Amino acid sequence: MEEAAAPYAAPKQITYENTFITEPEGYGEQYVFKRHKVQAVLKQALRERMEGQQYDPVKAAQYAKQLADDLREKIKALGYDRHKLVVQVTLGQKKGQAMRVVSRCLWDTHSDSSASELYENETLYCVCQVYGLYYE
């Protein structure tokens, strides 16, 4: 006679408890959104990607989307796990016109922040804005 297989125990259910930490400083200084670090990433990425580029109206939208995705990945690598990142890239043709990019946000000035960078050459301009919103 064969013995019946031993029944497997049901997996243990994990219960998470609230930490009551409502600010990024509670997790450590590395979780605070630092504008100067993000600004440096934006400046370097824009210089690398846009230098020598000519404005092409057919490819501009796709290029802006790719740039925004690349910037998001580079900024995530800085370790902002507790922040929701919003990246906005405005890419346009430069023909002597005036351009102003303005934004408004409702946020906690203690834990949320933003960074922006502008790149221009003879044929195009590119404005990148990154918003870091702390969430629990």
Average pLDDT per 10 consecutive residues for the chain, totaling 136 residues: 64 79 71 89 94 91 95 92 91 88 85 92 94 86
E-only strand ranges, 5-71: none
CA distance 44 to 89: 15
Predicted TM-score (pTM) of the model is 0.78
In terms of phi and psi (left: phi > 0; alpha: psi -120 to 50; beta: otherwise), the region of 65 is: alpha
Q: CA nearest 93: which of 129, 60, 67?
A: 60
Whether the Cβ atoms of residue 63 and residue 122 lie closer than 8 Å to each other: no
